[in-house]
Amino acid sequence: MHKSNQSIRDRLLVARLPVMPQVLLKLIDLCQRDDAGLAELAKLISHDAGMTAKILSVASSSAYKRGSRKMSLMQSLSTLGIEMIKTMVISESVFQTFNSFSNPSGLNLHGYWIHAHKTAVIARELATIMSYPHVEEAYLAGLLHDVGRLVLLSAAPNEYSASFMAPDDESLCFSESSLLGISHSEAGAWLIERWDLDSFMADSVLYHHEPIARLKSAHPLIRIVCLAHLLSHYRSDSPELEGVGILCGIDKTYMKDIISGVTVQTNAAAVYFGIDLKDTDQPLVESQPARNRATEKLADEVRNMTLVSASGQSFARMRYGRELLESITRSARILFNLEDIVVFLQDADGQALVGVPIGDHQQRLAEFSIPLSDGGIFSTSVLKREIRHIKRGDPAMGLVEEQLLRLMGTECLIYLPLVVEQSCLGILVCGLSPLQASEVWGGERLLLSFAAQAATSLETSAAARSEIDKQIANVVTEHQDASRKIIHEVNNPLSIIKNYLSILDNKLEKHEPVNEVLSILNEELDRVGRIVGGLAEQQTAPRETMKAETAEVNGVMNDVVRLFTISLFLPTSVSISVRTTDQPAEMLGSSDLLRQILLNLIKNAVEALPNGGKIELNNNGRTIREGLAYIELSISDTGAGIPPKVLANLFAPVSSSKKGENRGLGLHIVQSLVKKLNGFISCSSGESGTKFEILLPASGDIENIGSKPARIVNTVWSQR
């Protein structure tokens, strides 16, 4: 049955080239290893024309192509990435296992493989001898010189099966052209030209059957492949090789060595792959018995599960956003042999689907929004969660379909909803030719399985992204809180510094001593540095770790009161007193932290006495609580008291009615600092005033506490 040239070319578009099962088994074994490297994969794939063609084709497609148009096998593998290569290997294995690559006659491909492998090795040797700069390119051209035979077998298995096993010579090209309207040389060159490589590889495939006389001035790669093809067919003493060495400037001795060496390499490769070279002359193997419908259905289900599982594993390694979506679209194009694919996802309101800017149409997709209320085929597919097929010219087509067909440059569309349980996250819009559509439309179950796996991965990704966003938001909030606390606490010493600068100015004007004022200014400047450096660390340190630093509580109390009594902080209507013990009161922890606690509480007390009053600081001595020693402090004022609603959440941040960006942080910081000292703080308040009680870990042995009660001494009332 004759086919027109155009008809065959259309069928070549959807042809899937067979790969030697032995090579696939080795590839699967290698891909399952965690340490699989690109170099090992390249070495293995370079033995098979079908798999090599598949890799080069996908890597040079618009889904991957970036920049350079000259691409080696290693570059192609690097472009695809290890995960996509694994997906391709698994999909090809499953496809060929359950579909027998449309090979109903059970053809033996060993002879083809041996010839392709020999030609590739010889081409590499010739390129080396001739100092051709692209040895890898010569090897690939030799490996693929007869790829057109695989293409024709896949596209027209019934018509081409007999021709496939015929000798590869000029008469074969003539019979192929008569039978199908295209020879295997033309088919192979046409296929390679579609990869848009910056190379003479397509020419070398097209002209490898040309008479030698026509090729004397041809590009070196064309001459290399033609001679390699001839050398792989004949023994070194064959009459057919007389005079062919002139094609590449190689004498008989070199040709004999090349043929001898390639035979050794081919035999070694055959042993490695487990190929029996004895059956290479047997054109046909016994045809497999036809399978019944139940067996066919089982095979389809197994294939679907395997493909979906492989896709899911690939998606799981690409967890977020753009990377995951690109993986989904690329996998879909490879598995279903699609021309193009774009993604639409629901917007935040769930009222429309918006295009995702990936692939070749980023700018237009970013501005493409389709309301779900549109009522067309697109929105119906999403709302009903059903696959829909559209052909150009379909009466039901709407404006959306016309736009998408123009955007993707295809004749047919498949809408594939991304459904998880009862929710539709979005839709995959697949563009393909009518011939591709006729093949894909019979596999709705596989399409749905793939879409379900993709949707599950997207939902998992969104959940993970949301969790990360929450964590980032928490970190930002913590950072902002820490910054506000630092600002709040730094304002205390800065305010003291500002007031003491005024005092310093007055003293200088009156020629009074300023040593004490300068000492205080120096201390407060140092404290600013310590606050900035350490306040952000709010974790409570274990009690044991605080033994390294102690502070004398009475001295800190007196210093803080002194700051207030000789500065401009204390109004004339407010008095402040401090009561300490006659014995040193050593606490575990930093004196700076205690200083910050007291400054905050005294400032709050001053603000609670707008009409005047009293403030008292008391060290009530040591006490034991639950077997641990503490120093008991109290700070009280005679103000109007704290309202019950405020008192209930007193230590929460931003509970104050005071003005300012950092209002309400003082008591929250006080509580944090007390906790950092492993202490406790409580507050009681009423009409007669407010009292804060603080327990701070005491230094020293518990046995000595209480043996000699401390007396309250040094009562000092100060009033401005």
Using alpha carbons, select from 238, 240, 244 the residue that is nearest to residue 225.
244
Contact 368, 353 (CB under 8 A): no
Q: Residue 652 to residues 151, 471, 657, 674: CA-CA distances in angstroms?
A: 74, 22, 13, 14
Residue 313 domain-assigned (yes or no): no
Domain count, the chain: 4
Q: List, for residues 580-621, the tens digit of each pLDDT value.
A: 988 888 999 888 889 888 988 988 898 889 888 999 999 999
Residue 282 domain-assigned (yes or no): no
Same domain, 44 and 176: no
Dihedral over Cα of 218, 219, 225, 227: its sign: positive
Same domain, 93 and 116: no
Same domain, 79 and 115: no
Same domain, 142 and 90: no
Q: List, for residues 490-543, the tens digit of each pLDDT value.
A: 666 676 666 667 667 776 777 777 676 677 666 667 666 666 666 545 444 444
Q: Residue 183 to residues 151, 168, 173, 300, 700: CA-CA distances in angstroms?
A: 11, 11, 5, 34, 100
Residue 413 domain-assigned (yes or no): yes
Show the tokens assigned to 84: 């996509």
Same domain, 359 and 435: yes
Residues 667, 656: Cα–Cα separation, whole Å? 9
Mean pLDDT of 368-390: 87
Paired sense of beta strands 574-581 and 613-625, if any? parallel
Which CATH number belongs to the domain containing residue 264 in this structure?
Answer: 1.10.3210.10
Residue 161 domain-assigned (yes or no): yes
Which CATH number belongs to the domain containing residue 334 in this structure?
Answer: 3.30.450.40
Contact 333, 414 (CB under 8 A): no
pTM (predicted TM-score): 0.49
Residues 134, 118: Cα–Cα separation, whole Å? 18
Residues 51, 29: Cα–Cα separation, whole Å? 15
Same domain, 334 and 241: no
Same domain, 672 and 701: yes
Residue 81 CB partners (closer than 8 Å, separation 6+): none
Residues 624, 695: Cα–Cα separation, whole Å? 10
Q: List, for residues 182-235, the tens digit of each pLDDT value.
A: 889 998 888 888 777 778 889 999 998 888 878 888 898 998 998 888 888 776
Query: What percent of the chain clears pLDDT 90, i.e. is strictly above it?
Result: 8
SS3 713: strand
Residue 704 domain-assigned (yes or no): yes
Which CATH number belongs to the domain containing residue 705 in this structure?
Answer: 3.30.565.10
Same domain, 615 and 663: yes
Domain end (from 413, 442, 471): 442
Beta strands in 421-506 (DSSP E): 423-432
Residue 712 domain-assigned (yes or no): yes
Which range of residues forms the domain containing residue 94?
18-102
Domain end (from 242, 275, 308): 275
Contact 263, 273 (CB under 8 A): no
pLDDT at 671: 87
Same domain, 120 and 234: yes
Q: List, for residues 610-655, the tens digit of each pLDDT value.
A: 888 999 999 999 988 888 899 999 999 999 888 888 888 888 765 4
Residue 249 domain-assigned (yes or no): yes
Residue 71 domain-assigned (yes or no): yes
Same domain, 182 and 204: yes
pLDDT score of 44 more than 70: yes
Q: List, for residues 671-701, the tens digit of each pLDDT value.
A: 888 998 999 999 999 888 999 999 999 987 6
pLDDT confidence bin for 554, thresholds 50/70/90: very high
pLDDT at 527: 66
Same domain, 133 and 75: no
pLDDT confidence bin for 292, thresholds 50/70/90: very low
Domain end (from 65, 82, 102): 102
Same domain, 226 and 334: no
